[in-house]
Structure formats: C-alpha cells, structure tokens
C-alpha cells in the first residue's frame, strides 16, 4: 500500500515548522561561540539593542535572573542555555536576538561584542582524563576532571578466565568516528506565550512532543496543562530531534519577554555544529576463540566522547545506551564491556543517527572483530559467522550481558543472503582476480566482499527497567469509531518520515476490518494525543504499534457487546470475521463494524455495564524489547591507484518479524543502507587541535547520493516476535546499524593482498590510498 501522507508530501503541501507563520510573529537568532573553550569576560549588547528592528536581546545573564541559564539534559546532566561563565564548544549558544524579521535578527548578532579569554581545548577523548587536561565542567560542584561515568555489563571475572585459557586471542582498536544525522530539515521552534490565558504553545519539530512538554513544565515551572507542544510534519529526525536545544528555550523566553510569537530556525551549519551528533566511540575489542574458529568470549573497553554536556538521550539506567548487546548474534560463553564517558570541548550528544541507542557502535565492533579473527585464522568470514551464529532452538536466548533475545532464525537469514549474492561464485572470481594481480597483471580494481550480521534490541521499553528522566517508557493509544464507522486513532509517537499515518491505520484496518482510508491517525500534538515517550530507538512499532493493536482489539470486544444486543444473542455465541461479528453456526446472522458503530451511538438498549459509543484507550507497557536481525553482503571495487571505492552490489536480508507495510519497510532499509555507505566511506565531523569544527557544511560533511549507492538487493525472512500482539519488530534503524560493517569489511577484504587488517571509517580515497602505501603485496 502506498503511503497516505505522500499525497501531500509529493505535492509540496506538507506543513513544516518553518511553514507556520503566526500573526505578529517575531524571529530569533542565536549568537554562537567562535571558540571551543574560552572564558567569557564581557558581553556588550547595547548596539544590538539599539537596532531599530530588534525587540529583545537575551544573554546568559538575563536567563540567570529567571533561573533558566542552565537546563537539565535527557541524561540528567546540566547544559547551558546561554553561556554565562565559559563557552565549552565551538558553536555554543551565547546570546539570542529577537527581531522583526530573520535578517534583522542575524544582522544584529554582529552588533554584539563578546570579549573572550581563550582556554586550551580538550579535543582528543583519549586525552580527556590526563591529569593535566583542563577541566571543562568547572561549573559543576565536585567535578575535578572530565570524567562523566564508568559503566559496565557482563561478567568480568568469567570473561577473563576464558581469555586466560583461550587458544587464540585477537585485539583491535576500532573507532566509530563522530558523525551527524543531518536531517534535511534543520531544528526549529515557534513559541507562542499567551499572557492572558497563561497558555504556551510550542510548534517544534521534535520527535518526542510529550516528553518535551513534561520537561518544559519541570524546567520552567509552567503548569503542564498550559503547555501545548505541536510537532507538525518533520523533514527527517534520525535522532537529531530528540533533545531539547537551547534555541527552543530561547524562543520561549523570547515570547514571554516580547509578548509575541517567536520563531527560531537554525541553518545548516548551526545544525551540524551544535546539535546532537552521533557515535564518537573509541573501542578496543578482544576476541577469545579456538584455533578452528569457535568464538568463546568477548571483551571491550570504550572511551565515549560525549562532548561538553552529557546530552545523550537514552534510558536512565543505560549511560552507554544498549551498547551491551555487543555480543551480537553469536553464541559466546562470556562477555564483558566497560564504557567510560568523558567530556570534551565539542557539541553535546552521542545518541542519534539511527543508532538504536548505541547498537550501531556495538554491531560495528563485533562485525569488525569477526573479520579480524577471520583474517588471523585465515578463515572465510561467512563460514566463521555461520559456525558461531545462535541456533534457532536457542531462542528465547538469554545473552551473557543480560538481554533476552525474543526470537530468531539466524542461519536461515545468512544462507538467504549468501544465495542471493551468489557468494561462492563471487569468491571464486575474486580468487582468480587476486592471482592475476599477484602474477603482475594489475589492471582494473580489486574486488572486496564484506559481510555483516546484526541483532538489534528495539522497542524501549519495559517500565520496570526503562525510563527517561523518571518517565516510564509505556505508550498510550486512543481509538474512536464514529457513528458512520469512520475511525480516528490517536497515538503518542511522532513520524519524521516513517509513514506512521499509513501503517497505524493499517493495523486498525486489519484488526477491525475498517478500510484504511476510513481511518485517520492523529499524532504530534500533546493536546490531541495520549501521553507517550516519542519516536526513537525504533520503538514506535514495538510499543505504539502494539498499543494500537491492543486498543483496536478492545474496540472489537466492545463491538461484540453491542452486536450481541443488536442480535439478541449471548456475546459468547458471536464469532469474529474481519469486519463483522456473526452468530456462530449462522454465518448470515451478523452485523458489520459500521452497523455496530451506528447502533452504539443510537437508542439501542445496551447490556448492563456496557457504555455507549465505540471507543477505547490503552497504555501499552512492553514485556520485552523486540530483536530484529539481518544478514548483509556488500561487494566493492577498490582502485588501489586512487583509493576510490565503488559499492558495486549490496544484498540485505532483514527480519523484522511481521511486516505491516512491506513498501515502507523497504524504504526504511534503503535509507539505512545509504546511511551505512555514507558513514563507511565519507561522513565525518572532524575537529582541528583547537576544537574548530571541520565538518560544518555539506561541502565538508559529505552525504551519499544515488551516485554512490548501488541498486539495493533486498531479501526478507519473517520470524515473528512472540510477545508483540501482531508479531512485528522495529526496523527503522536496522540497516544503519548493520550496513557500515559490511561496507568496511568489503573494503578491507579488497585490500587483503596488501595485508591491511583494519582501518577506521570513513574510508575516503585518501585514507584508503594511505593505508596501502609502502605495503608489499602478499599471497
Ligand atoms: N514497519 C512495518 N513493519 C515492521 C516494522 C516497521 O511496516 N515490522 C513500519 C512502521 O510502521 C513505520 C516504519 O516501518 O511506519 C518504521 O517503524 P519502526 O521501526 O517502528 O521505527 P519508528 O517508527 O519508531 O521510527 C524511528 C526510526 C528511528 S529511531 C530513526 S533514527 C529513523 C528511522 O526511524 N529516522 C527516520 N527511519 C527514518 N525514516 C525517515 N524517513 N526519517 C527519519 O527521520
Ligand atoms: Cu539513535 S537515532 Mo533514532 O533513535 O531517533
């Protein structure tokens, strides 16, 4: 089924935050720090204030008076809204100008005079804990260094014991560099405070409207029922639109101060420099195995670069997100990971870009380590994987780091991918090519074949384990069937392009037999929808999708009661077929859901205790996460003369349980595969030694286009989730999680004749070229 929302999107009729223009609206702009680390000596705003079109200039000092200079982050740290004492990353928010139009606001920024006293910047996360490293967060009482947290999972002693007795141990430093989700639409908000009613309306392209509202209520002390967050159409989120940014708070303060609505939209460079980045994980992985390739244990140590404020968005108990799913898809005796979070003079963030709460890092690490082991053992990477994959009979599988994988048939998915790729023929052709090369005929590129197999844990999460800032991660849903049988579903999650208006309508249609076109899905408005924590970590299908199925089944049960009154039979004598209840044994005696809807609103006498109308509400608390998985194979051609990598083929077999809308699922996978090619080959947010951001425009931060992507070859297996009402698992981040390792493994496979065991992303032509310089060809 095609997406319902595309009717407006393909006609350019979407409504994004920047399309919303309120009467009398003013425009805000943020003055940002040119330094990565500097003390603020003084800020002179007089000239800006004198600008004829300027209505307000807000600084950290202004906010201090309102106790709003600092705000809590989603990781219970504090973040400066506008800097008061120091600036801690290049691009940090220093002042906010409100003016009659956006040009005047930006012009006035240049009239603000800030005197800075530059300080040494901490750029390398591995140096952040050095005794002589400058302390970035001297605002925090008792913070004498740049340490944020130590966190671990698994059994360290048991893991060390396996390592001590292992036949083979391989170790590898693996960096997952800092990247940025770079949604096409940048972040922005319009705040509209009505001083008469005390109502604050915030239009904002947030992925989590309800969570934002509650946080605003807690921070600003505004009564929650007087805050309305509206998230209209969103032009891509990818985790970048989960946090609350200083610009949003400034727009709110701007509106309260001026009494007018204030719009703030950041530009591309502001988005790339200051909003939620992704990854920046410095990992050291170790594998213990037998000589014939049985993986016995895994050990990882991580330095996690969180930037200047710990603004990561993840369940409270998991400061490294779900990184501890790093044993991946393999059967190991023991595993242990230890993660140390540090402050650096960079933008805050870390959990974004289709990461499933750091499962990207985990999947990349394990899949790189498997290839490193295969390299050392001189084994075929497909054979090594097949040998160690979990077996179908091991599910539900308790992992050594505390997960319970719900369901899976891994060998089937890998075999399908190998068959689709024609793996044996690819290897045979590669072997011939290598022999030709080694014999001296060096024409044409080198082929590389890379595999990855991933398992994700998505759908956060069970209330007893998971919350964000104390808010449990259950989702509400409301379904109303109107008298004429048309339905409106209200959900708490928010689409940024995932097609929720279609897929959630499809779930209701399937459960009630109402045509999809007769069902509207309302989301993204806290005044119109039940509470829930929002869209990220591919949690919408696992949590709100389940809530939708449950609420539709509740309505169906109510419909049974109404039908029993209509047909004057016992409810227990009724049977359901899609769209109608009928009398068991008398197929012709029945009532359609539409007839029942009308009767439920009529003068029909209903049984004792049965309310009129046809609607229901629910709150879904998932019993476990869902565990989608997949097998990916990438084929590249690498030109050793230039270092250029061409992705020739990409086979992706995904298993996300029951697929609600196969076309949407394929679209999600296509997007994620492009992400993987981008991260593996070209994307990087880099910094120079002074902390200047070198990836602040699309000239430097390279996104893949169709030119860099092959025609994706997709396959599927279906292993339903046993605990999800319709057997669906999340898929929105699967391909981004699984694909980078396949691309990198393919490039390194191509470079095997040069004896390159590992190289870090992004594998740009220069990086690939440098990796093989001076290396003799080996057999
Ligand atoms: N779906 C399905 N059958 C399944 C699983 C999912 O039909 N078995 C459908 C869903 O109904 C939904 C879509 O696929 O329409 C994605 O579902 P899900 O996996 O539940 O993910 P979410 O809806 O929670 O989306 C979040 C996820 C995340 S966290 C990132 S990051 C990301 C992603 O989605 N950001 C995106 N995909 C994106 N796609 C677009 N276009 N834009 C983004 O910002
Ligand atoms: Cu980690 S990016 Mo998605 O969860 O919004």
Cβ 620 under 6 angstroms from ligand 2:
no
Q: How many CB atoms lie within 10 A of CB 234?
A: 24
Ordered by start, the domain boundaries in the chain are 6-119+186-234+241-274, 277-459+624-772, 474-620
Q: Looking at the CA of residue 351, tell me the nearest atom of ligand 2.
A: 1
Who lines ligand 1 at CB under 6 A?
183, 236-239, 354, 496-500, 503, 535-541, 656-661, 664-665, 668, 671, 728-733
Cβ-contact 671, 714 below 8 angstroms:
no
Q: Looking at the CA of residue 538, tell me the nearest atom of ligand 2.
A: 4
What is the pLDDT averaged over residues 151-162?
A: 98
Q: Looking at the CA of residue 358, tell me the nearest atom of ligand 2.
A: 1
Cβ-contact 534, 207 below 8 angstroms:
yes
Q: Looking at the CA of residue 321, tell me the nearest atom of ligand 2.
A: 1
| First-to-last C-alpha distance (Å) of the chain | 52
Q: What is the pLDDT of residue 221?
A: 87
Q: Which CATH superfamily is domain 6-119+186-234+241-274 in?
A: Aldehyde oxidase/xanthine dehydrogenase, a/b hammerhead (3.90.1170.50)
Checking if the pLDDT of 776 tops 90, the result is no
**Rounded Cα–Cα distance for residues 334 and 342 (Å):** 27
**Rounded Cα–Cα distance for residues 700 and 745 (Å):** 25
Q: Looking at the CA of residue 539, tell me the nearest atom of ligand 2.
A: 4
**What percent of the chain lies above the pLDDT cut of 90?**
97
Q: Looking at the CA of residue 357, tell me the nearest atom of ligand 2.
A: 1
Bridge pairing between strands 26-32 and 38-44: unpaired
Tens digits of residue pLDDT in 208-221: 999 999 999 998 88
C-alpha 500 to ligand 2 mean position (Å): 16
Checking if the pLDDT of 444 tops 90, the result is no
Rounded to a whole number of angstroms, the CA Rg of the chain reads 28
Pocket test for ligand 1, best of 541, 548, 714 (most atoms within 8 A of CB): 541
* Secondary structure letter of residue 69 according to DSSP: S
Q: Which CATH architecture describes the domain 277-459+624-772?
A: 2-Layer Sandwich (3.30)
What is the pLDDT averaged over residues 750-771?
A: 97
ipTM above 0.90, yes or no: yes
The residue written with tokens 């309102």 in the block is 66
pLDDT bracket for residue 369 (50, 70, 90) = very high
C-alpha 449 to ligand 1 mean position (Å): 28
Q: How many CB atoms lie within 10 A of CB 50?
A: 11
* Helix, coil or strand: residue 32: strand
Q: Looking at the CA of residue 734, tell me the nearest atom of ligand 1.
A: 19
* Secondary structure letter of residue 728 according to DSSP: B
CATH class of 474-620: alpha beta
C-alpha 609 to ligand 1 mean position (Å): 40
The residue written with tokens 């005929």 in the block is 441
The full DSSP string for 193-257 is EETTTTEEEEEE--S-HHHHHHHHHHHH---GGGEEEE----S--TTTTSSPPHHHHHHHHHHHH
What is the pLDDT averaged over residues 506-524?
A: 98
Tens digits of residue pLDDT in 595-632: 999 999 999 999 888 899 999 999 999 999 999 999 99
Q: Looking at the CA of residue 207, tell me the nearest atom of ligand 2.
A: 5
Higher-confidence position of 30 and 695: 30
C-alpha 49 to ligand 1 mean position (Å): 45
Paired tokens of 677: 């090619």
**Rounded Cα–Cα distance for residues 195 and 259 (Å):** 7
Q: What is the pLDDT of residue 697?
A: 96
* Helix, coil or strand: residue 593: helix
Q: Looking at the CA of residue 661, tell me the nearest atom of ligand 1.
A: 7
Checking if the pLDDT of 778 tops 80, the result is no
Looking at all shown ligands, the one closest to residue 234's CA atom is 1
Cβ 281 under 6 angstroms from ligand 2:
no
Paired tokens of 77: 């740290």
What is the pLDDT averaged over residues 731-757?
A: 97
3-state secondary structure 542-569: HHHHHHHHHHHHHHHHHHHHHHHHHHCC
Cβ 353 under 6 angstroms from ligand 2:
yes
- Which residue has a Cα nearest atom 16 of ligand 1? 732
Cβ-contact 115, 35 below 8 angstroms:
no
Q: Please enumerate in sequence order all residues whose Cβ is within 8 A of that of 260, keeping only pairs 6 or more positions apart, or say none.
A: 24, 25, 26, 55
C-alpha 355 to ligand 2 mean position (Å): 5
Pocket test for ligand 1, best of 498, 662, 666 (most atoms within 8 A of CB): 498
Cβ 60 under 6 angstroms from ligand 2:
no
Out of 160-164, 171-175, 217-221, which region has the weakest mean confidence (pLDDT)?
A: 217-221
* Secondary structure letter of residue 319 according to DSSP: T
Q: Looking at the CA of residue 732, tell me the nearest atom of ligand 2.
A: 3
Q: What is the pLDDT of residue 220?
A: 85
**Rounded Cα–Cα distance for residues 283 and 434 (Å):** 32
Pocket test for ligand 2, best of 205, 537, 540, 675 (most atoms within 8 A of CB): 537
Closest Cα to residue 595, out of 517, 505, 520, 513?
513
C-alpha 500 to ligand 1 mean position (Å): 8
**What percent of the chain lies above the pLDDT cut of 70?**
100
Cβ-contact 324, 362 below 8 angstroms:
yes
C-alpha 275 to ligand 2 mean position (Å): 14
C-alpha 643 to ligand 2 mean position (Å): 32
Q: What is the pLDDT of residue 529?
A: 98
Q: How many CB atoms lie within 10 A of CB 304?
A: 26
Checking if the pLDDT of 779 tops 70, the result is no
Cβ-contact 54, 108 below 8 angstroms:
yes
Q: What is the pLDDT of residue 60?
A: 98
Cβ 239 under 6 angstroms from ligand 2:
yes
- Which residue has a Cα nearest atom 5 of ligand 1? 730
Q: In which region does residue 378 sit, left (phi positive, over 0), alpha (psi from -120 to 50) or beta (all else)? A: left
pLDDT bracket for residue 260 (50, 70, 90) = very high
Cβ-contact 375, 388 below 8 angstroms:
no
Q: Looking at the CA of residue 360, tell me the nearest atom of ligand 2.
A: 1
**Rounded Cα–Cα distance for residues 73 and 376 (Å):** 44
C-alpha torsion sign, points 515, 516, 517, 521: positive
In the Cβ-directed half-sphere of 163, how many Cα atoms lie within 13 Å? 17
Bridge pairing between strands 93-99 and 54-59: antiparallel
C-alpha 476 to ligand 1 mean position (Å): 18
C-alpha 660 to ligand 2 mean position (Å): 20
* Helix, coil or strand: residue 644: coil
- Which residue has a Cα nearest atom 17 of ligand 1? 732
pLDDT bracket for residue 371 (50, 70, 90) = very high
Q: How many CB atoms lie within 10 A of CB 685?
A: 23
Q: Looking at the CA of residue 729, tell me the nearest atom of ligand 1.
A: 8
Tens digits of residue pLDDT in 2-19: 999 999 999 999 999 999
Cβ-contact 533, 463 below 8 angstroms:
no
C-alpha 538 to ligand 1 mean position (Å): 6
DSSP H/E element including 634 = strand 629-638
> Is 6-119+186-234+241-274's fold the same as 277-459+624-772's?
no
Tens digits of residue pLDDT in 45-57: 999 999 999 999 9
**Rounded Cα–Cα distance for residues 625 and 546 (Å):** 12
Cβ 257 under 6 angstroms from ligand 2:
no
Cβ 351 under 6 angstroms from ligand 2:
yes
Q: At what angle do helices 423-438 and 410-421 cross, to 10 degrees?
A: 60
Furthest-apart CA pair in the chain: how many Å?
A: 91
Pocket test for ligand 1, best of 732, 733, 737 (most atoms within 8 A of CB): 732
* Helix, coil or strand: residue 475: strand
C-alpha 313 to ligand 2 mean position (Å): 9
Tens digits of residue pLDDT in 109-136: 999 999 999 999 999 999 999 999 999 9
Q: What is the pLDDT of residue 442?
A: 86
Closest Cα to residue 732, out of 668, 664, 659, 673?
668
Higher-confidence position of 550 and 779: 550
C-alpha 239 to ligand 2 mean position (Å): 4
**Rounded Cα–Cα distance for residues 319 and 75 (Å):** 8
Looking at all shown ligands, the one closest to residue 241's CA atom is 2
């Amino acid at each position: 089924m095609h997406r319902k929302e595309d009717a407006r999107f393909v006609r350019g009729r979407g409504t994004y935050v920047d399309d919303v223009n309120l009467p009398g609206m003013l425009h805000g702009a943020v003055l940002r720090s040119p330094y990565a680390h500097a003390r603020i000596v003084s800020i002179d705003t007089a000239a800006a204030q004198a600008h004829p079109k300027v209505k307000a200039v807000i600084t950290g000092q202004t906010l201090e008076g309102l106790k709003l200079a600092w705000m809590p982050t989603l990781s219970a740290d504090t973040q400066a809204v506008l800097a008061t004492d120091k600036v801690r990353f290049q691009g940090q928010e220093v002042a906010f100008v409100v003016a009659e139009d956006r040009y005047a606001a930006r012009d006035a920024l240049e009239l603000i005079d800030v005197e800075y006293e530059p300080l040494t910047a901490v750029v390398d996360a591995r140096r952040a804990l050095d005794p002589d490293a400058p302390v970035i967060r001297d605002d925090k009482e008792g913070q004498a260094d740049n340490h944020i947290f130590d966190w671990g999972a698994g059994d360290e002693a048991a893991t060390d014991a396996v390592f001590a007795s292992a036949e083979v141990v391989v170790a590898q430093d693996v960096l997952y560099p800092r990247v940025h989700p770079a949604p096409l639409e940048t972040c922005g908000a319009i705040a509209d405070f009505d001083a008469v009613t005390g109502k604050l309306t915030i239009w904002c392209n947030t992925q989590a409207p309800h969570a934002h509202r509650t946080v605003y209520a807690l921070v600003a002390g505004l009564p929650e029922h007087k805050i309305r967050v509206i998230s209209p159409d969103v032009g891509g989120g990818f985790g970048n639109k989960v946090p609350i940014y200083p610009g949003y708070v400034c727009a709110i303060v701007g509106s309260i101060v001026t009494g007018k609505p204030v719009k703030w939209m950041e530009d591309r460079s502001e988005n790339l420099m200051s909003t939620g980045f992704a990854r920046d994980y410095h990992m050291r992985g170790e594998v213990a195995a037998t000589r014939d390739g049985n993986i016995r244990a895994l050990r990882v140590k991580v330095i996690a670069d969180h930037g200047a404020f710990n603004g990561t968005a993840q369940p409270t108990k998991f400061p490294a997100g779900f990184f501890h799913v790093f044993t991946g898809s393999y059967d190991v005796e023991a595993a242990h990971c230890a993660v140390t979070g540090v402050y650096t003079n960079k933008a805050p963030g870390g959990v974004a870009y289709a990461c499933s709460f750091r499962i990207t890092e985990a999947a990349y690490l394990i899949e790189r380590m498997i290839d490193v082991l295969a390299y050392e053992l001189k084994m075929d990477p497909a054979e090594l994987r097949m040998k160690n994959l979990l077996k179908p009979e091991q599910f539900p599988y308790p992992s050594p780091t505390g997960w319970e994988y719900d369901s899976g048939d891994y060998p089937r998915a890998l075999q399908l991918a190998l068959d689709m790729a024609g793996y044996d023929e690819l290897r045979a052709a590669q072997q011939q090519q290598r022999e030709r090369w080694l014999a001296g005929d060096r024409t044409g590129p080198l082929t590389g074949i890379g595999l990855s197999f991933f398992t994700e844990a998505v759908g956060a999460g069970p209330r007893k384990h998971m919350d964000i800032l104390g808010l449990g991660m259950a989702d509400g849903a409301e379904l109303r069937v109107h008298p004429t049988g048309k339905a409106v579903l209200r959900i708490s999650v928010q689409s940024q392009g995932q097609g929720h208006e279609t897929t959630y309508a499809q779930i209701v249609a399937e459960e009630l037999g109402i045509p999809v076109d007769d069902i509207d899905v309302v989301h993204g408005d806290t005044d119109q929808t039940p509470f829930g924590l929002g869209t990220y970590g591919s949690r919408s299908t696992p949590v709100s999708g389940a809530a939708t199925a449950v609420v539709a089944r509740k309505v169906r049960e109510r419909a049974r009661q109404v039908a029993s009154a209509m047909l004057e039979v016992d409810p227990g004598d009724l049977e359901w077929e899609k769209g109608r209840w009928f009398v068991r044994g008398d197929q012709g005696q029945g009532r359609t859901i539409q007839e029942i809807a009308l009767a439920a609103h009529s003068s029909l006498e209903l049984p004792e205790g049965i309310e009129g109308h046809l609607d229901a509400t629910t709150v879904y608390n998932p019993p476990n996460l869902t565990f989608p998985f997949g097998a990916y194979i990438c084929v590249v051609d690498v030109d050793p003369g230039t270092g250029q990598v061409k992705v020739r083929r990409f086979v992706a077999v995904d298993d996300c349980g029951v697929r609600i809308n196969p076309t949407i699922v394929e679209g999600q996978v296509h997007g994620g595969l492009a992400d993987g090619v981008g991260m593996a080959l070209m994307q990087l947010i880099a910094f120079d030694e002074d902390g200047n951001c070198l990836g602040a425009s699309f000239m430097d931060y390279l996104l893949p286009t169709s030119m860099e992507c092959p025609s994706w070859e997709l396959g599927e297996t279906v292993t339903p989730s046993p605990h999800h009402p319709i057997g669906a698992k999340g898929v929105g981040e699967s391909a981004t999680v699984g694909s980078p390792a396949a691309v990198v493994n393919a490039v390194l496979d191509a470079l095997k004749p040069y004896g390159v065991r590992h190289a870090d992303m992004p594998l740009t032509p220069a990086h690939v070229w440098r990796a093989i310089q001076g290396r003799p060809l080996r057999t």
